[in-house]
Structure 1
Amino acid sequence: MKKLLFVAVAAAFLAGCQSDSQTDRALVGGGLGAATGAIIGAAAGGGAGPALAGAAIGAAGGAIVGAATTPKNCVAYDRYGNPYRVVCP
């Protein structure tokens, strides 16, 4: 029970690390995916093998989703030449 609480607290702290960097989001997504996959793998299989497999699958999936969901920010200019950020099309 204490391990599950520790993982939940760690996940909450990692989720708070929001960043617009694609690398940062891939790392956080991979970490959260690995933790979640390890918990599900251990609960489903009851051993180290399924937990490691779940962690590997979760890490890969989380990294892909984290990198793919990074918002793309572009710079546009108003009629006075002042730059501002907009979402890229």
Structure 2
Amino acid sequence: MRGTSLLLALVAASALAGCMETQSGAPVLQTQGGRALAGAAAGAIIADATDSNAIAGAAIGALAGGASCNVGVGGPCYR
């Protein structure tokens, strides 16, 4: 049951992710802050699903999401 809920939440979040924009018009997931927030959420969800520390998972996810702008993963980042 937990896996089904997790999968449903991920599908719903990805369906809505394309609709998010900042005030400057750049999509949220193409800013470093937006990627850090998305990484933190994903890290916390994955850590919770694997019975690990959700805070540590969120911290690692935020670092990975924020750093993804600097390595060119997922397209360019805007300010």
Normalization by structure 2: what TM-score? 0.57
Number of aligned positions between the proteins: 66
How much identity, in percent, do the aligned residues show? 34
Structure 1 residue ranges, 4+ long, deviating more than 6 angstroms after superposition:
none
Question: By how many angstroms is 1:7 displaced?
Answer: 4.6
CA distance, structure 2, for counterparts of residue 20 and residue 29 of structure 1 = 10
Please give the root-mean-square deviation of Cα atoms over the aligned residues, in Å: 3.1
Task: Tell me what 1:51 maps to.
Answer: 54
Larger radius of gyration: 1
Indicate the structure with greater strand content. Answer: 1
Task: Tell me what 1:31 maps to.
Answer: 37
Query: Does the Cα contact within 8 Å between 1:7 and 1:35 map onto a contact in 2?
Result: no
Structure 1's unaligned 5+ residue stretches are 73-89
Structure 2's unaligned 5+ residue stretches are none
2:9 pairs with 1:6:
yes
